[in-house]
Structure 1
């Protein structure tokens, strides 16, 4: 679960750099076209969701929220 949150945080942290690479048309990591850089930006939120889902972090967060609401009710 912790690894899922760390991976998701990493994908969020590098997002501004990826936006900058797109806006400044900087080639890096084999992304040498605006289209390739744009596709990476579109998939970045999916990577965040994948990191949370595949490690069970999302499920654990939902479970803790549900348990908190039951205790407060």
Structure 2
């Protein structure tokens, strides 16, 4: 299985925190409620589905998912 990484674009994130609600293991919130990636953006295999659910539910489309081979 290919490793995937997440990135939250700070210019797009508006602090809805849906990602944190859906995948708390993968996202952290700053003091303003804006999201950033946890775990250095590395998504463990057992959390890949959660990463895609969080991405699909981001109203600002601020979450980018990349495979390790496309970094």
TM-score by length of 2: 0.27
**Bigger Cα Rg:** 1
TM-score by length of 1: 0.27
More helix by share: 1
More strand by share: 2
